[in-house]
Homo-oligomer: A and B are copies of this chain.
Amino acid sequence: MAAALAVAERGRGRTAPNPNVGCVIVRQGRVVGRGWTQPGGRPHAEAMALAQAGDAARGATAYVTLEPCAHESPRGPACADLLVGAGVARVVAALRDPDPRTDGTGLARLQDAGIQVDSGILAAEARRSMAGFLTRQALGRPLVTLKLATSLDGCIALASGESKWITGPQARAHAHLERARHDAILVGRGTFLADSPKLDVRLPGLEDRAPRRILLSATGPTPPGWERIADMGDVRGLRAVDHLMVEGGASAASAFLRADMVDRLLLYRAPILIGGGKAAIEAFGLATLSEAHDRWRLTDSRLLGSDRFEVYERN
C-alpha cells in the first residue's frame, strides 16, 4: 500500500475532478503492474496497472489507495468490473470512495464476485494523499493552500514593494515543486499588477507542470492565459481544481482566511529583518486573540538553506 501511495503522488494536482489514486498489483511476491490516475483523470490507476500486468493479474493481489469505482462512464468502464474481469484474487483498498456513485458499491461488487477484500489499510496516509478530492467531496470546494514567504518580522516586501528575493534559492525551488502539485494558483489583482507573476514551474523536467493561473479580481479584464474569478463565491465553481494554492498578496490571503477556506499554510521564512514592510496578511476579521489559537497544527518543519520551511494544517 505504501508503494501504491507513492505512485499516487505522481498524479497529484493533475487529475481533478478525479482523485489521484495509485494501484500496485502483486503476484507471488513480485510487482506485475503499477498505475496511477493519468492527467485529466483517465485512465484510472487500476486500468493502467491491469494493462501492465496483463495475464499476470490472474490470481494476484491489487493494492489500491481508493475503493475501485463502480460506475461506468463514457470515458471508460468501472474499475471494479475490470478487476473482476482480470481475475484478481484479492483487493486491498485504503479508503472507501465517498463519491455517491461508488461509496461501498465497488467493494461490494468485488466481494460478490468472490474476490477477497480488505479495506482501511493506511487510511490516514491515503486521506492526506487525496486531500484535494476529499475536500471537494466533503465541502464542495478545493483544498486551499496559502503560501507565504516572509522575513522574520512577517513582511512579504519592503515598503517600496521590493520583494525579490526574500527567501533563498532552495526555498524558491521547493515552492516551485509545490506549484507542480496544485491544479491552479491564485493571486489577487495587486500582486498581478505589481509582480506580473508567471507562476510557472522552473524545475528541470517539470517545466510542463505549470498549473492554471487564476486572478481574484472583482473588476477589470482577464489577462491572456489567465482565468478570473470575481469573489470568494466563485471558488466553489472552479472546474477541475481540487488543489488551489494562494500565492499572494496580503489581500487575497485575508479574503480566503475571512471565508474560512484555508486548509494548509506553507511558510517560508528567511533569516532577515525588514521593519515597516508589507505585512503578509491583511485583517480578516479576528476579534480577539483567543479566537486565533488552536486553529493550526504544525505538520512539517525543516531548514531549506538558511530559510525555515513549515507546514501547518487546520485543526
Contacts and interface: CB of A to CB of B under 8 A. Distances in A.
Interface in A217-255: 253-254
Contacts of A301: 308
Contact of A153 (B150, B273, B295, B306): B150
B272 A254 contact: no
Contacts of A280: 153-154
Contacts of A158: 286, 288-289
Nearest to A155: B154
A85 interface: no
Nearest to A271: B296
Interface in A284-315: 284-286, 288-289, 292-293, 295-298, 301, 303, 306, 308, 310, 312
A292 B151 contact: yes
Q: Quick one: copies of this chain in the complex? A: 2
Contacts of A292: 151, 272-274
A241 to B, nearest CB: 23
A281 B289 contact: no
A150 B159 contact: no
Interface stretch (A6-14, A108-116, A160-168): A160-168
Interface in A244-271: 253-254, 257, 265, 267, 270-271
Contact of A271 (B162, B275, B284, B298): B298
Contacts of A56: none
Contact of A275 (B164, B270, B277, B281): B281
B272 A276 contact: no
B281 A296 contact: no
Interface in A113-153: 148, 150-153
Given A153-B279, A301-B308, 8 more contacts: A154-B154, A154-B155, A154-B280, A162-B289, A272-B296, A275-B286, A276-B279, A276-B281
6 contacts: A158-B286, A257-B273, A272-B296, A275-B284, A276-B279, A276-B282
